[in-house]
Every structure is written in structure tokens, then in C-alpha cells.
């Protein structure tokens, strides 16, 4: 299926309720599975990733297929490693090419029994759950914070707790802080000194929780305001003081022309004049925002240089290559001067066509980031648009609410 996205006006206004954070939801579900007592979760994410994890945790089956859900693969691998039983866990063809060796090595290092069924270092995995006896791990923190979060979540229930020594520059630190903040909500005490995180054996408290709205999804609404003329949009359920690292969206978009006014649990986004003529930022702590900003800055005509994008190559697709490929169709030539960097010097050629089809590469963030450019480019066609259900299931309806036309293209 393909969607044709268009809009007659360039002035956008409206009111939107954001989806709940899947990052918070998935962490809370793992904690619930590790807790001895039940508790209530309000506003659980309706994203595919969360549904897959919830289904897997509720299942009595020994075979688990998590599809494209990378977080679920990492979190469940750690959870099952310390739980008595035998499991086979697999995923989509892309998931079977996303590395998991660092996490598996770390778990096996402390006594887990995890084997690769096909290619070494990648799913599918056979896990023989057992009691973990050791409590010290050295782990490379530069590849994926999800490996570390997976270990942190199980740390309190291990017989001796866990001490994590993080090597190299740690990527996506806000996600580690998010994990620890959520664990703290459920009574867990920890220490984080320099590159070492220590968690003793202890119990998760039973405590109800309400899931925040998702700041990563909010970035696409900020993008819409940035690309519109005199845009004004209200996000009705967003928190200024958030646990999520991607709340930096507000500050970054302020630099390129979107002002945020917060009132209680809502944000009013207003377009403003910007003097920004070059944008440089290290996304090592916020890699999920890179696609939003690359696309937005190109269509605003603001040259940029991004750093800290190494992890984008092991996401749903190689996001650096995907951005270069799809933006090239519109005449933007992006380069990767060094690994983990992305640069555009401001040069623009003629678009390849008047009706450009955006490949999404089974990556929700490609569809989410490219659809708003209908404000700048007459006809945008999104291939495999249903992929947005991974994180933002109501996205296309929200675009319609804001005045976009979303048509099925045959």
C-alpha cells in the first residue's frame, strides 16, 4: 500500500493528543513481569512494539517471535536468561540482522546460557533460563543503550544484584537515566559513579503508574509547525518536565523557528522568525530525532552537520543510508564525512520527479519524518505507510485533523 500526502494550505493549526511513550511502557511491562505483586498501568502505549512485548509476557509458549521490535528482543533476552525454563526467541528478517552479541556475551559472562541458532551474534536465540550467580559485567556502552537497560531492569532480582562497568563513550544516556528513574519509581535504589552503575539485590515495589506522552512522536508535530507558514498547534497531553531524553525536541526546534508555551499538561507550538543559518548538533544522546531534523533542515534550507549517529546503522534499517537515498530524490546530497556523521552543505539540485515515492525500509521513523514535507513539496507518496503503527498508530488520522489529505495510492 502507498499513501499520497498533500495539503492545500500552508497554515496549519489544530489540537492533538500524542500517543503514550513506548519506551516507558516497555520498561514498565518488564518491571511488572519481575514484580511479586501486581500494579495498575494507566495509558499503556498502543504501539506495535508494546503490544508484541505485552503478548510475549502473557504467553505460556516457549517460542517467541517479536517481529521488528528491537526493544522487545533485548529486554526479553535478559528477562528470560534469569527465569527458569527454555525458550526460542526470533524476529523478522531485519531483526535477524540486528546485532545482539554484546548483550548475549554480557549475560553469558555472569552465568546465563544463551546460544545462537543461525548466525553468531544475531537472533534467533535459544535461551536456557537459570539462576545467575555472578554480579559483575564489563560492557561496551557505545553501541546500544538498550543492552544496558535490559541488564539494569533485571539487576534487582539477581541473587547478588549487578555491577555494570561501562566502556567507551556511552550512547543514548538519557535512555539509561529513563530506565533508572522508572526503576526508582518502583522503589529501586542504585548508584552511578563515573562509568559504573551498581544495583544491589532488592524487590520492586508494587506502585501504580501513568505513562507519559511520547516526546519522540512530538518531534513530528514540531516539524509540521516548522515547515508551515505561521503555524500554531496545541499538543494537549505533553509534559515539559519529562523523564524522556527526547524532550530536548523543544529546545532544538526553538533554534529553528518553533516557540513552545507550556500550560499545565499541554504545549502550544507557534512558528517564529529564526536567524539560524547553520545547525550543528551531537545526537549521541537523542539518535531517534536525527531523521526528523535532517528532513526538516533540508526543506528549510538550513545546512547542517550531525554527529553521534553510529547507532542509526543498527536500527530498523541503516538510517543514515536511508536518509541519504530518500533526500537525494528531492535534490539534497547528504554526505557521511566520518562514521556516525551526517552533513548537508546547503546545495540543492532539481528533484528527480514531481511525484516522489518515499521508501520506508520497514522503518516507522522514515514515514513519520517525510510525510510533513507535503507542506513544501506538492505530492509526497509514502510506501508502506502502515509501518507507523510501530510507535504512532494514529499518525495518519492526526495529519487529517491538521488539514492534510491522506489518500490511498493504487
pLDDT surpassing 80 at residue 410: no
| Burial category of 42 from C-beta neighbours within 10 Å (exposed 0-12, middle 13-18, buried 19 and up) | exposed
In a shared domain, residues 200 and 333: no
| Burial category of 149 from C-beta neighbours within 10 Å (exposed 0-12, middle 13-18, buried 19 and up) | buried
What pLDDT, on a 0 to 100 scale, did the predictor assign at position 9? 85
In a shared domain, residues 106 and 162: yes
Question: CB of 402 within 8 A of CB of 4?
Answer: no
Tens-place pLDDT, residues 115-144: 999 999 999 999 999 999 899 999 998 888
In a shared domain, residues 29 and 144: yes
Tens-place pLDDT, residues 349-359: 999 788 899 99
User: How many domains does the chain fold into?
Assistant: 2
Q: Angle at CA 141, nearest 5°, toward 135 and 147?
A: 65
In a shared domain, residues 176 and 261: no
DSSP structure class, residue 385: G
Sign of the torsion angle spanned by Cα atoms 117, 118, 124, 130: positive
In a shared domain, residues 279 and 361: yes
Of the candidates 192, 210, 228, which is a domain's last residue? 210
For β-strands 266-271 and 232-235, DSSP reports them as: antiparallel
What pLDDT, on a 0 to 100 scale, did the predictor assign at position 345? 97
In a shared domain, residues 327 and 242: yes
Q: Is 321 a catalytic residue?
A: no
DSSP for 26-52 reads: HHHHHHHHH-SS---EES---SHHHHH
What pLDDT, on a 0 to 100 scale, did the predictor assign at position 233? 96
Q: Which domain holds residue 190?
A: 22-210
Considering the entire predicted model, what is its pTM?
0.92
In a shared domain, residues 57 and 188: yes
Of the candidates 161, 177, 210, which is a domain's last residue? 210
What pLDDT, on a 0 to 100 scale, did the predictor assign at position 264? 85
In a shared domain, residues 194 and 62: yes
pLDDT surpassing 80 at residue 104: yes
Number of Cβ within 10 Å of residue 338's Cβ equals: 10
CATH number at 367 reads 3.65.10.10
Catalytic entry in 288, 363, 383, 398: 288
For β-strands 191-193 and 196-199, DSSP reports them as: antiparallel
Amino acid at each position: 500500500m502507498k499513501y499520497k500526502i498533500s495539503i492545500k494550505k500552508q497554515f496549519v493549526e489544530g489540537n492533538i493528543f500524542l500517543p503514550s511513550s513506548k519506551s516507558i511502557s516497555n520498561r514498565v511491562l518488564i518491571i511488572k513481569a519481575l514484580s511479586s505483586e501486581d500494579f495498575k498501568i494507566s495509558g499503556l502505549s498502543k504501539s506495535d512494539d508494546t503490544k508484541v512485548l505485552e503478548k510475549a509476557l502473557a504467553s505460556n509458549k516457549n517460542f517467541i517471535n517479536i517481529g521488528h521490535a528491537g526493544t522487545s528482543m533485548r529486554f526479553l533476552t535478559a528477562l528470560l536468561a534469569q527465569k527458569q525454563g527454555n525458550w526460542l526467541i526470533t524476529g523478522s528478517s531485519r531483526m535477524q540482522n540486528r546485532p545482539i552479541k554484546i548483550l548475549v556475551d554480557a549475560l553469558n559472562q555472569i552465568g546465563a546460557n544463551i546460544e545462537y541458532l543461525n548466525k553468531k551474534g544475531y537472533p534467533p536465540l535459544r535461551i536456557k533460563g537459570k539462576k545467575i550467580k555472578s554480579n559483575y559485567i564489563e560492557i561496551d556502552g557505545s553501541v546500544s543503550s538498550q543492552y544496558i537497560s535490559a541488564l539494569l531492569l533485571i539487576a534487582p532480582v539477581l541473587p547478588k544484584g549487578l555491577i555494570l562497568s561501562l566502556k567507551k563513550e556511552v550512547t543514548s544516556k538519557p535512555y539509561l537515566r529513563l530506565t533508572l528513574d522508572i526503576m526508582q519509581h518502583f522503589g529501586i535504589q542504585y548508584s552511578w559513579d563515573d562509568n559504573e552503575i551498581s544495583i544491589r539485590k532488592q524487590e520492586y515495589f508494587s506502585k501504580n503508574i501513568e505513562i507519559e506522552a511520547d516526546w519522540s512522536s512530538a518531534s513530528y508535530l514540531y516539524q509540521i509547525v516548522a515547515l508551515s507558514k505561521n503555524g500554531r498547534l496545541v499538543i494537549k497531553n505533553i509534559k515539559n518536565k519529562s523523564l524522556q531524553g527526547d524532550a530536548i525536541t523543544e529546545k532544538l526546534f526553538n533554534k529553528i523557528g518553533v516557540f513552545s508555551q507550556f500550560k499545565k499538561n499541554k504545549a502550544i507550538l507557534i512558528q517564529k522568525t529564526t536567524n539560524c543559518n547553520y545547525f550543528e548538533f551531537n545526537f549521541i544522546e537523542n539518535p531517534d530525532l536525527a531523521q526528523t531534523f535532517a528532513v526538516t533542515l533540508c526543506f528549510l534550507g538550513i545546512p547542517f552537520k550531525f554527529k553521534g549517529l553510529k547507532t542509526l546503522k543498527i536500527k530498523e534499517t541503516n538510517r543514515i543510508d536511508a536518509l541519504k537515498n530518500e533526500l537525494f530524490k528531492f535534490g539534497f546530497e547528504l554526505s557521511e564525512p566520518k562514521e556516525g556523521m551526517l552533513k548537508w552543505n546547503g546545495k540543492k539540485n532539481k528533484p528527480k520527479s514531481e511525484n516522489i515515492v518515499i521508501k520506508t525500509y520497514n522503518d516507522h521513523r522514515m514515514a513519520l519524518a517525510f510525510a510533513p514535507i507535503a507542506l513544501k513539496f506538492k505530492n509526497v507518496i509514502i510506501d508502506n505507510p502502515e509501518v507507523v503503527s510501530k510507535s504512532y498508530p494514529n499518525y495518519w488520522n492526526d495529519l487529517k485533523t491538521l488539514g492534510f489529505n491522506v489518500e490511498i495510492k493504487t
